[in-house]
Amino acid sequence: MSGGWKAAVAVAAVIAALIALSGPPPGEPTQVTIPSGATLSQVADSLSARGVIRGRALFEWYARARRADRKIKSGHYLLATNSSWASTLGSITRGEVVTEPMTIPEGFMVQQMVPRIAEAAGVSPASVQALLAESDLVERLGVPGPGVEGYLFPDTYRFASGVPVSTILETMAERYRAVWTPERLAQLEELGWTERELVTLASIVQAEARRPEEMPRIAGVYHNRLEIGWLLQADPTVIYALGGYRERLLYAAIDSVADNPYNTYRQSGLPPGPISAPGEAAIDAALNPIDDYLFFVARPDGYHVFTRSLAEHNQARIDIRGMNAAQRGS
């Protein structure tokens, strides 16, 4: 920085300090919108009109002296009235815009995410669907495929208003990739599975489990079934093949999608890809299964009864039917 600029910045700092000391303390926050392409003069007008700064013309000179006039970022800001020039300029040059949370629960399918992504981006669900249907999206996001199902990681994100849908998807995929730490990658290699296979199983575990502590046992059942060549017979995969939630899964519904590759009652092995977005606990369970069992059946309280033989499994089903009948009677 030249001597002249240093002197200008020093003078600007003194003026800013004098204005700050002579005025009232910072007040209540107010919303200020800086449009894309706004000039420094337009920004100063908005800040002054909203009561964020005093001395609009001097503020412009101060911003230019700090060489910050070309660093101002557009967006929606929440700034305190009677703010100092330094703090105001810092906020709008760092882009500290107002953000809103977007929460994607574990186990959500892409179709369930679409309305939330659309709301965060301020666009229609149809436009989100159109982007998701683009043929090169999997490659752009750097996920295993066959689609993006299972790889838009469930979490709470914060986005500025009007953020592009592509940015939201890239952020969610980046969060997914961050899950694959060196330790998890080493476990995956030890299992001899592909990343797609592991996430597919994790998505089934996520859909089956109501109690996180049971996830490793559920994963173990499916590991064992794959090992001995049994059908997985996982209800959530059939529900996925059917297109969404069913209160009861009847044999007629299973037969109606007999040829669907996601129907694990009729098709052997894992389905082609994930059926939902698993969280870290489900991924860890799939990587670290407890492999003592071959069957499980859900109890009314959300827990499962795990068994090793068909006879034990059938007895557990009878017992649980009794529990359900007693619960309905009460």
Mean pLDDT in residue range 297-309:
92
Nearest partner of 258 among 272, 279, 274, 241, judged by Cα: 241
Q: Which of 27-41, 105-119, 181-195 has the lowest mean pLDDT?
A: 27-41
pLDDT tens digit sequence for 183-193: 999 999 999 99
> pLDDT category, 254, cuts 50, 70, 90?
confident
Q: Is the dihedral of CA 86, 37, 116, 199 positive or negative?
A: negative
pLDDT given for residue 121 in this prediction: 95
Which residue matches tokens 């052997």?
A: 268
Total-model pTM: 0.83
Domain-ending residue, one of 94, 109, 128:
94
Domain-ending residue, one of 49, 69, 94:
94
pLDDT given for residue 321 in this prediction: 86
Are both 38 and 62 inside the same structural domain?
Answer: yes
Domain that holds residue 214: 182-292
User: Cα(204)–Cα(237) distance, rounded to whole angstroms?
Assistant: 7
Are both 104 and 199 inside the same structural domain?
Answer: no
pLDDT given for residue 21 in this prediction: 41
Per the model's pLDDT, the better-predicted residue between 34 and 253 turns out to be: 34
Does residue 155 sit within a domain? yes
Residues linked to residue 110 through DSSP beta bridges, in sequence order? none
Nearest partner of 131 among 99, 160, 103, 170, judged by Cα: 170
User: Cα(175)–Cα(302) distance, rounded to whole angstroms?
Assistant: 29
Upstream peptide bond of 271 is cis (omega within 30 degrees of 0): no
How many domains are there within the chain?
3
Does residue 270 sit within a domain? yes
pLDDT given for residue 220 in this prediction: 97
pLDDT tens digit sequence for 121-140: 999 999 999 999 999 999 99
Q: Is the pLDDT of residue 61 over 60?
A: yes
Does residue 111 sit within a domain? yes
| C-beta of residue 93 within 8 angstroms of C-beta of residue 55 | no
Does residue 304 sit within a domain? no
Are both 212 and 168 inside the same structural domain?
Answer: no
Q: Is the pLDDT of residue 200 over 90?
A: yes
Are both 186 and 285 inside the same structural domain?
Answer: yes
User: Cα(298)–Cα(268) distance, rounded to whole angstroms?
Assistant: 23
User: Cα(87)–Cα(19) distance, rounded to whole angstroms?
Assistant: 13
Domain-ending residue, one of 152, 179, 206:
179
Residues linked to residue 31 through DSSP beta bridges, in sequence order? 78
Integer CA distances (angstroms), 36 to 91, 109, 126, in order: 16, 35, 26
Does residue 260 sit within a domain? yes
Per-residue exposure over 137-172, b if at least 16 CB sit within 10 Å of its own CB, e if not? bbeebebbbebbbbbbbbbebebbeebebeebbebb
Does residue 68 sit within a domain? yes
Q: Is the pLDDT of residue 22 over 50?
A: no
